[in-house]
Amino acid sequence: MPTVMPVFKENMKTPVLYVFFGMIATGKSTLAQAWARHKALNCYNSDRFRKELAGMKPTESQRQTIDTGIYTREFSQKTYSALLEKAEARLQGGESVILDASYQYARDRLDLRALARNLQCRVYFILCRCSEIEMKRRMDAREQDPAAVSDGRWEIYLKQKKRFEPPDELATPELIIIDTQAPMEELLGELDKKTALNKQHIINKKQ
């Protein structure tokens, strides 16, 4: 289900695709949802889509390892395809939209970039990071939260860490790196500034 909390409307003529990505427990979902409220946009989360496609409730826990059940590469591709279709529909309708997923492989990120280019939209990839100590703290807290949607655990993170492909394929204007350990108000302010600067860089490049 999309997260929509109206605060103020995007008034840019060109719709924007915001992609919050990174490894598990880096705060990407928390920041993506806060950005959705800040910008009054739809936010689509891969964990929710994955479980919806499997006929599960969002908070239904899955203790499977990274390559089994709904976490196989095949099922992940199905999930990402559904996210891509949802984003395409929103962008074609002239709406900016937020996607929230690990996007650990370059090929998946390139699919999103291709979509934005085909629809002549702007795209920002927001890479979320934090220390491993903070990641472990967040995972421990998630284990105790019955409302948690993500099944990310430390052992899964260790495997994901080996597979995660650095976003070297992304150009500077479209890649934004955020340390999510700061207070949310500061993070939103930082993201506002960076997206504005990157937008101006893109405009100057086209002139």
pLDDT of residue 201: 61
Domain range annotation of the chain: 16-206
Contact 51, 148 (CB under 8 A): no
CB atoms within 10 A of CB 2: 14
- In this structure, are residues 1 and 71 in contact, taking their beta carbons and an 8 Å threshold? no
Whole-prediction pTM: 0.85
Q: Class assignment of domain 16-206?
A: alpha beta
Structure tokens at 164: 């995660």
The token pair at 55 is: 């006929």
Beta-strand relationship, 122-129 and 42-45: unpaired
Q: What is the pLDDT of residues 135-166, one digit of tens each?
A: 999 988 887 866 666 666 778 888 889 999 99
Which DSSP string do the residues of 78-146 spell out, in sequence order?
HHHHHHHHHHHHHHHTT--EEEES---SHHHHHHHHHHHHHTT-EEEEEEEE--HHHHHHHHHHHHT-T
> How do residues 95-140 score in pLDDT, each as one tens digit?
999 999 999 999 999 999 999 999 999 999 999 999 999 999 998 8
